Structure 1
Amino acid sequence: MEAPQASPDSSSEECTVLEALPGKGTALICSQHKGKVSALYCLVCENAVCEDCMNGEHAEHPTDSLEKAVDQQLAALQDKVDSAKNRLPQIREAVQYLREILQQLNSQRSSIEEDIHSSFSELHKTLDTRKSVLLMELEVTYGLKQKVLQAQLDTLLQEESAINYNCSLTSEALDGGSKASVLQAHKEAGERLGDLSSQGLPLQPEENDQLDLMMEIEGLRKSIHNLGTIVTTNAVASQTEASGDGLEQCIVGQPASVIITTRDKAGGLCKTGNAIISAEVYTPDGSIADGEIVDMKNGTYEFQYTVKKEGNFSLALRLYDQHIKGSPFQLKVSSSPDDSPTTTTAANAASTGSSDGGARKRSAKSPGSRSRQKGVRRGGSLFSTPKKRVNPIEDDLIFRIGTKGRNKGEFTNLQGVAACSEGRILIADSNNQCVQIFSNTGEFQSRFGVRGRSPGQLQRPTGVAVHPNGDIIIADYDNKWVSIFSSEGKYKAKLGSGRLMGPKGVSVDQNGHVIVVDNKACTVFIFQPSGKLITKFGSRGNGDRQFAGPHFAAVNNNNEIIITDFHNHSVKVFNADGEFLLKFGSNGEGNGQFNAPTGVAVDVNGNIIVADWGNSRIQVFDGSGSFLSYINTAADPLYGPQGLALTSDGHVVVADSGNHCFKVYRYLQ
């Protein structure tokens, strides 16, 4: 069999092809020397060669066995394959994160779109009200003027008629010519004519005809033209840089300053402000420094801070919750300038970025940063019944309350739920900026809340809890603090301002301490009701003591804190000091699995009830995290359940955010 000829444009180096030879199996055949097997590998030309090739142009070239060369190249290729595969987890993580950002972006767009419609609807109502007032004022003013002028006109017309009548009677008497007629007319009409001729009449207008309208339309038109702004930047953390003395020397008690320069994906300077930047200075033992971020409104930001003691500190600078270039930075704080070395940049951000002692002190953020998510409608929680049903739940809905709207008993993106021993159910009505209160049987009782960013106002209430003393505790996501109201809805105090980035859920432990789940900071804070920070734990990540979008919290009879970890698809349990105890759950649709858990509650037996947001269902676990049962919602399927709680009469109440209502289900403890 002849060896195939090389194509006309093939180089002399491409001298081998695969071919089956009698008795030799498949071998590499030299295309330059017919029928010759290439058994060697030219190290200079990096090609397989035969013996004739070695006697010719490759005579001076070092060679190796073809088998060895193939093995080496096979190993090299395998190393490259392994190296490429090692990138897959990073790529998958990046893909997941980008999908989350896209989801957040879509949620932001939907939320802002709703706010725009709501704001302009309110403006339309205000304009219509003002229009009605102006028209009413016009009618009242016109009526008063018209009444005066019409009365004057009627008086003059009556006098004119009286004069004409009496003059006519008198003329007839005079025309008769008899003396008797004259005497009679003089007696009857003369006195009246005298009165009419001498009576003072309102001959001059007693009112004017002025009715003018002053409308400052041009100024209003300009205001409307400039009404509202979509706030955003193109800044990305991977290109954003930090500089300044605060990265070079830190002296105890002296202010230090760091300049943060935001850049876009191509490295270009961002020229507008309002980026969401956060900063934290901390030591492994949790010590923190006072600081504040100042937005220069030109794409740069100044972080000013003061450290009050010597030691090794970490400075973490984040843009949109991601470390910027070089962050976290290592700082050695000394008592005098001579002792202060230059800053060294952390080579591995994970060495300090996940420190549980990290405390967020001050954050400068642009308006918004909402996180509204929609559930995927499912055909109910029709999962197989587990063999173990220690805590069976009846499969019937007691009642549902609410529709989409802004009136009493109506909701727009309800989230947090709480219940108290007085038989009340409290709902955090997020987009209506209020808390609505109902009885255990669903009767509306009251509501409170005024939209705004001042203390006592609500901007985006997401979590709600009731303190044993009756106070109502509200997590305000957009105001970045927790507000405390009396049981009647009167404002009392706030806590966490300056520390919190995005409080989502709140709860109260057995000591009366307030537990705050900070969704943005991925941290759980524990405060005294006075606002003093007791402890905090957690950071961003997927470790046991880390979170990825934590949502709500509950406390069991052992004063253990149970947190739903939204993006890690799990539930985690900690003791009162923040020490990790256990976690359960994984991503999926099976029994005991989650697709982004949200609300959580604990019954008197220590069983844990979890709202499974993405799977639109409610599951029940024992205190160790073993799956027990579920609430069958097939009759009226949930659509993105959020917060849930146990009512004082022992039933489960859940915020069905996608259906704009809350539902109460029977629950047998």
Structure 2
Amino acid sequence: MEAQQASPDSSSEECTVLEALPGKGTALICSQHKGKVSVLYCLACEISVCEDCMNGEHAEHPTDSLENIVDQQLAALQDRVDSAKNRLPQIRRAVQSLRDILQQLNSQRSSIEEDIHSSFSELYKTLDTRKSVLLMELEVTYGLKQKVLQAQLDTLLQEEAAINYNCSLTGEALDGENKAVILQTHKDVGERLGDLASQGLPLQPEENDQLDLMMEIEGLRKSIHNLGTIVTTNAVASQTEASGEGLEQCVVGQPATVVITTRDKSGGLCKTGNAIISAEVCTPDGSVADGEIVDHKNGTYEFQYTVKKEGHFSLALRLYDQHIKGSPFQLKVTTNAASTGSSDGGARKRSAKSPGSRSRQKGVRRGGSLFSTPKKRVNPIEDDLIFRIGTKGRNKGEFTNLQGVAACSEGKILIADSNNQCVQIFSNTGEFQSRFGVRGRLPGQLQRPTGVAVHPNGDIIIADYDNKWVSIFSSEGKYKAKLGSGRLMGPKGVSVDQNGHVIVVDNKACTVFIFQPSGKLVTKFGSRGNGDRQFAGPHFAAVNNNNEIIITDFHNHSVKVFNADGEFLLKFGSNGEGNGQFNAPTGVAVDVNGNIIVADWGNSRIQVFDGSGSFLSYINTAADPLYGPQGLALTSDGHVVVADSGNHCFKVYRYLQ
């Protein structure tokens, strides 16, 4: 076998080539000393050499065994291979993350594109309707005026013709000078002429000719010119920074502040707001701080929070679900203001927003409560999480802002997947069964379904928040009818009473409507306010064995009970974190014993009350803490199912009735 030739661009210093020798396999052969095998490695020249080379030009150079050097370089290469391969999981995770973001970006674009088309279609319809109304109004007004004027004109023309005719007859008689004709004409026509001469005629116009059009075009044109905006930022988590004493330490019970500065991929400052930022102060067993995020609309944000016990905590700041620079931060909480080095103890006036709420920004969908504030639990029910289903996404078994929950005797759990515009159905054990729903504003389509209930006849009833009506589907998801259109402003929750009537909680109107399944209104009650029969953002409803209606009053931090006719019976709850208090209650259900189960959204917990509103206990959710619970129901096998909107899943807990 001939020796391999060195490549034209190989180093002139290299003096060995590979060659197969009899009995020696493939060896390094010295190219300068024919037949000599290289067994050494010149460390100075970093090449393999033979013994003759060492007696010549490499005589003074340090060497090592070629075998040792090969082993070393083999190990070094292996280390580099391993190091390179170790990057693969990171790269794959980054690739998957980018694919997820791209998929979400595409979904958002498609969703917004649909919203734009839908919104402008509604505007076109409204404009066409107004155009038709104006044209109809013009025709009616014109018709009325024209009828009056034409009738007056016809009268005058008839009188003119009558006068001319009778005068003509009389003139002929006068011209003939026949006495007999004159006498007859006087008898036949004279009286008639007298009547014509003295008859009152409508000589003045009985109508006018005014028909003007007033169109406030300029203001409308300006409004349309500024209608809608695409909200986004270029902020990325890897460049976004946080500062402030609240990153490292704070005092128990005193507000602390962290300033978050968003930056783009090049480190440049973002100058607009509306970024989606979340924050948590937590221990390994769950979140323990009450706080909020304030958007200054200039690319900076403030996280203002209060911790109620001392210790070492973790402060996580995320931008678009990604940790920002340095996050999570290690936070020390003390009871001594002096130990923090702050002259005012970190005191700071907080914005007047609901505790635990996300900064509300136009065009940004709001998730559940960001902050869990559990207190020491008294007499907790000894129940555990059975299972949780779901993650954030748009596929089967994935959710984006799930809200309403229902369960039926056939062993099914129904979830109103609000931002995915559908209802998903699972078995009591969590197996996905089906889903139905398509985005749109036509009957049978959904636009932010928030509440869901099951009628005794099997029909599925859905509160369609943005379409401002309630849709009824068959148990297979086939559209049947809608009710409440034209009456409802923002239906949030739905339920069914023992008469088969559909109870609709209208969040915007602060009113509860009760309909027959045919759509006929039975009764309605409630108005905006904080009185016994008033609401401030009511959410969901449940019905007990006495056919009494139980409503969660979100901003009044209470639960109210009414009879089937809408008469107020009782209320319970107040704003706070103690037993029996609420921070914006949402979901509600009633067990067979009449006990009332309430999802406490802002406090991220589930409380249990007896039928009179006396606090009994909590559902034990410590194993997998809730993160902004919404809808709540009891499954046919007696467990509690809750929509955990902040964690993009629903959870089922054991419940002892």
TM-based fold match above 0.5: yes
Name the counterpart of 2:157: 157
Question: Residue 434 of structure 2: SS of its match in structure 1?
Answer: strand
Q: Note if contact 2:248-2:329 (Cα within 8 Å) is conserved in structure 1.
A: no
Compared CA separation, residues 412 and 9, structure 1 to 2 (3 A): closer
For residue 193 of structure 1, report the CA deviation from its aligned partner. Answer: 2.1
- TM value normalised by structure 2: 0.57
Question: Residue 266 of structure 1: SS of its match in structure 2?
Answer: coil
For residue 67 of structure 1, report the CA deviation from its aligned partner. Answer: 0.4
For residue 505 of structure 1, report the CA deviation from its aligned partner. Answer: 14
Name the counterpart of 2:563: 575
Q: Distance in 1 between matches of 2:472 and 2:41?
A: 80
Question: Residue 99 of structure 1: SS of its match in structure 2?
Answer: helix
Compared CA separation, residues 613 and 109, structure 1 to 2 (3 A): farther
Q: Deviations over 1:546-587 (max 9, x none)?
A: 999999999999999999999999999999999999999999
Tell me whether 57-66 or 440-449 shows the greater mean CA deviation: 440-449
For residue 297 of structure 1, report the CA deviation from its aligned partner. Answer: 1.9
Tell me whether 16-25 or 540-549 shows the greater mean CA deviation: 540-549
Q: Distance in 1 between matches of 2:357 and 2:460?
A: 25
For residue 125 of structure 1, report the CA deviation from its aligned partner. Answer: 1.7
Q: Distance in 2 between matches of 1:199 and 1:602?
A: 84
For residue 171 of structure 1, report the CA deviation from its aligned partner. Answer: 0.9
For residue 47 of structure 1, report the CA deviation from its aligned partner. Answer: 1.8
Q: Distance in 2 between matches of 1:28 and 1:95?
A: 43
Compared CA separation, residues 535 and 402, structure 1 to 2 (3 A): same
Compared CA separation, residues 391 and 55, structure 1 to 2 (3 A): farther
For residue 511 of structure 1, report the CA deviation from its aligned partner. Answer: 24
For residue 75 of structure 1, report the CA deviation from its aligned partner. Answer: 1.0
Q: Note if contact 2:377-2:618 (Cα within 8 Å) is conserved in structure 1.
A: no
Compared CA separation, residues 370 and 631, structure 1 to 2 (3 A): closer
For residue 151 of structure 1, report the CA deviation from its aligned partner. Answer: 1.3
Name the counterpart of 1:358: 346
Compared CA separation, residues 445 and 9, structure 1 to 2 (3 A): closer
Compared CA separation, residues 321 and 485, structure 1 to 2 (3 A): farther
Q: Deviations over 1:603-650 (max 9, x none)?
A: 999999999999999999999999999999999999999999999899
Q: Distance in 1 between matches of 2:635 and 2:156?
A: 78
Tell me whether 478-487 or 247-256 shows the greater mean CA deviation: 478-487
Q: Note if contact 2:248-2:332 (Cα within 8 Å) is conserved in structure 1.
A: no
Q: Note if contact 1:391-1:668 (Cα within 8 Å) is conserved in structure 2.
A: no
Q: Distance in 2 between matches of 1:320 and 1:171?
A: 103
Q: Distance in 1 between matches of 2:156 and 2:514?
A: 85
Q: Distance in 2 between matches of 1:380 and 1:252?
A: 25
Q: Distance in 1 between matches of 2:586 and 2:36?
A: 72
Compared CA separation, residues 209 and 307, structure 1 to 2 (3 A): same
Q: Note if contact 1:393-1:666 (Cα within 8 Å) is conserved in structure 2.
A: no
Q: Note if contact 2:414-2:452 (Cα within 8 Å) is conserved in structure 1.
A: yes
For residue 266 of structure 1, report the CA deviation from its aligned partner. Answer: 2.5
Tell me whether 406-415 or 565-574 shows the greater mean CA deviation: 565-574
Question: Residue 462 of structure 1: SS of its match in structure 2?
Answer: strand
Q: Note if contact 1:392-1:668 (Cα within 8 Å) is conserved in structure 2.
A: no
For residue 303 of structure 1, report the CA deviation from its aligned partner. Answer: 1.3
Q: Distance in 1 between matches of 2:404 and 2:470?
A: 13
Q: Note if contact 1:314-1:352 (Cα within 8 Å) is conserved in structure 2.
A: no
Matched, 1:521 2:517: no
Q: Distance in 2 between matches of 1:541 and 1:312?
A: 42
Matched, 1:72 2:60: no
For residue 77 of structure 1, report the CA deviation from its aligned partner. Answer: 0.9
Name the counterpart of 1:243: 243
Compared CA separation, residues 663 and 49, structure 1 to 2 (3 A): closer
May I ask how many residue pairs the two structures share in their alignment? 657
For residue 182 of structure 1, report the CA deviation from its aligned partner. Answer: 2.5
Q: Note if contact 2:368-2:645 (Cα within 8 Å) is conserved in structure 1.
A: no
For residue 296 of structure 1, report the CA deviation from its aligned partner. Answer: 1.9
Q: Note if contact 1:503-1:519 (Cα within 8 Å) is conserved in structure 2.
A: yes
Compared CA separation, residues 404 and 519, structure 1 to 2 (3 A): same
Taking the TM superposition and a 5 Å limit, the aligned residue runs for 1:103-502 are 103-286=103-286, 288-333=288-333, 418-421=406-409, 428=416, 430=418, 460-461=448-449, 464=452
For residue 149 of structure 1, report the CA deviation from its aligned partner. Answer: 0.7
For residue 174 of structure 1, report the CA deviation from its aligned partner. Answer: 1.1
Q: Deviations over 1:91-134 (max 9, x none)?
A: 22222222222222222222222222222222222112111211
Q: Distance in 1 between matches of 2:569 and 2:595?
A: 16
- 5+ residue gaps, structure 2: none
Question: Residue 250 of structure 1: SS of its match in structure 2?
Answer: strand
Compared CA separation, residues 515 and 122, structure 1 to 2 (3 A): closer
Q: Note if contact 2:274-2:361 (Cα within 8 Å) is conserved in structure 1.
A: no
For residue 192 of structure 1, report the CA deviation from its aligned partner. Answer: 2.6
Q: Note if contact 1:368-1:478 (Cα within 8 Å) is conserved in structure 2.
A: no
Q: Distance in 2 between matches of 1:55 and 1:588?
A: 92
Compared CA separation, residues 607 and 4, structure 1 to 2 (3 A): farther
Compared CA separation, residues 127 and 548, structure 1 to 2 (3 A): closer
For residue 233 of structure 1, report the CA deviation from its aligned partner. Answer: 2.1
For residue 137 of structure 1, report the CA deviation from its aligned partner. Answer: 0.8
Q: Note if contact 2:290-2:355 (Cα within 8 Å) is conserved in structure 1.
A: no
Q: Distance in 2 between matches of 1:26 and 1:105?
A: 57
Q: Note if contact 1:438-1:444 (Cα within 8 Å) is conserved in structure 2.
A: yes
Q: Note if contact 2:539-2:587 (Cα within 8 Å) is conserved in structure 1.
A: yes
- 5+ residue gaps, structure 1: 334-345
Compared CA separation, residues 494 and 189, structure 1 to 2 (3 A): closer
Q: Note if contact 1:517-1:552 (Cα within 8 Å) is conserved in structure 2.
A: yes
Question: Residue 368 of structure 2: SS of its match in structure 1?
Answer: coil
Q: Note if contact 1:233-1:275 (Cα within 8 Å) is conserved in structure 2.
A: yes
Q: Distance in 1 between matches of 2:368 and 2:308?
A: 57
Compared CA separation, residues 16 and 507, structure 1 to 2 (3 A): farther
Q: Distance in 2 between matches of 1:243 and 1:269?
A: 15
Compared CA separation, residues 468 and 289, structure 1 to 2 (3 A): farther
Q: Note if contact 1:3-1:31 (Cα within 8 Å) is conserved in structure 2.
A: no
Q: Distance in 2 between matches of 1:231 and 1:397?
A: 38
Q: Note if contact 2:436-2:477 (Cα within 8 Å) is conserved in structure 1.
A: yes
- TM value normalised by structure 1: 0.56
Q: Deviations over 1:6-25 (max 9, x none)?
A: 56654343222101224433
Q: Distance in 2 between matches of 1:365 and 1:273?
A: 18
For residue 169 of structure 1, report the CA deviation from its aligned partner. Answer: 1.6
For residue 332 of structure 1, report the CA deviation from its aligned partner. Answer: 0.8
Q: Note if contact 1:515-1:553 (Cα within 8 Å) is conserved in structure 2.
A: yes
Percent sequence identity is: 95
Name the counterpart of 2:53: 53
Name the counterpart of 1:646: 634
Q: Note if contact 2:416-2:452 (Cα within 8 Å) is conserved in structure 1.
A: yes
Compared CA separation, residues 91 and 493, structure 1 to 2 (3 A): farther
For residue 158 of structure 1, report the CA deviation from its aligned partner. Answer: 1.3
Q: Note if contact 1:277-1:364 (Cα within 8 Å) is conserved in structure 2.
A: no
For residue 426 of structure 1, report the CA deviation from its aligned partner. Answer: 7.1
Q: Deviations over 1:335-385 (max 9, x none)?
A: xxxxxxxxxxx9999999999999999999999999999999999999999
For residue 328 of structure 1, report the CA deviation from its aligned partner. Answer: 0.8
Compared CA separation, residues 214 and 436, structure 1 to 2 (3 A): farther
Q: Note if contact 1:273-1:297 (Cα within 8 Å) is conserved in structure 2.
A: yes
Q: Note if contact 1:231-1:366 (Cα within 8 Å) is conserved in structure 2.
A: no
Q: Distance in 1 between matches of 2:386 and 2:182?
A: 101
Tell me whether 41-50 or 377-386 shows the greater mean CA deviation: 377-386
For residue 26 of structure 1, report the CA deviation from its aligned partner. Answer: 1.5
Tell me whether 409-418 or 557-566 shows the greater mean CA deviation: 557-566
Tell me whether 246-255 or 593-602 shows the greater mean CA deviation: 593-602
For residue 28 of structure 1, report the CA deviation from its aligned partner. Answer: 0.5
Q: Note if contact 1:602-1:609 (Cα within 8 Å) is conserved in structure 2.
A: yes
Name the counterpart of 2:612: 624
